[in-house]
Amino acid sequence: MTNISAAPFKNKVTHARRPTKQEAEEAVRTLIAWAGDDPDREGLKETPRRVVEAFQEYFRGYGEDPIAMLQQPTFEEIGGYDDLVMLRDIRVESHCEHHIAPFIGVAHVAYLPNGKVAGLSKLARVVEAYAKRLQTQETLSAQIADAIQEALSPRGVAVMIEAEHQCMTMRGVHQPGVAAVTTRFLGAFATDSALRDRFLSLANASRRGR
């Protein structure tokens, strides 16, 4: 299990000129030819267009603002509730930035409110917004936790992701069924071992039930 440091994570993105859709399709044609096939044969003529459209879906997270999602709106009428808010088994579908191969799994996300909460669906949307980018699982774990911390200022945040990486199952070491597990703990979860163990117990209970 990898526990990312509690230091704030900053995602630095340098924006170069974005190629046109036509340029992207031509790049796919080049890759098809490089792989050894004919991009002009019947079965492949529409493949460049389909691949570019698929990429728009796979990586739509670049056009989304996860922090704004969490803040629109928040709710303060919570009856003094100050215990765990947790979502388990949030579906994770992302792509490894090293091979652009999928990694698929689940995320467990929790926080301790500090006077306000976000809608439950917003936690799932934040996971999805960051997952729909080129990622490493470690970075994804950190970004989700840091966004919740920045948007809600809770007393603590915990994130755990379990995922199978196709860059390990379809190439390289060829190890199907191997799950990578990463965690990120902020605030009370980083300092209170009993609280951290409670979160992990709830997350692992979900796995036992699958």
Active-site annotation holds for 167: yes
Q: What pLDDT does 15 receive?
A: 66
Active-site annotation holds for 166: no
Q: What pLDDT does 2 receive?
A: 44
**163: pLDDT strictly greater than 90:** yes
**23-42: average pLDDT:** 97
Q: How confident is the model at residue 210 (pLDDT cuts 50, 70, 90)?
A: low
Active-site annotation holds for 95: no
- Architecture label for domain 73-209: 2-Layer Sandwich (3.30)
Active-site annotation holds for 97: yes
Active-site annotation holds for 15: no
CA distances to 72, 128, 192, 195 from 122, rounded to whole Å, are 9, 10, 26, 23
Give dist(CA 142, CA 157) in Å, integer. Answer: 10
pLDDT tens-digit readout, 66-118 = 999 999 889 998 999 999 999 999 999 999 999 999 999 999 999 999 999 99
Give the largest CA-CA distance in the chain: 65
Higher pLDDT, 4 or 210: 210
Catalytic residue among 26, 64, 93, 99: 99
Q: What pLDDT does 157 receive?
A: 98
Give dist(CA 53, CA 51) in Å, integer. Answer: 5
| 50: CB partners within 8 A, 6+ apart | none
Q: What pLDDT does 14 receive?
A: 59
Per-domain residue ranges for the chain? 21-58, 73-209
Catalytic residue among 95, 108, 128, 165: 165
Active-site annotation holds for 108: no
Catalytic residue among 23, 56, 97, 175: 97
Catalytic residue among 25, 95, 96, 162: 96
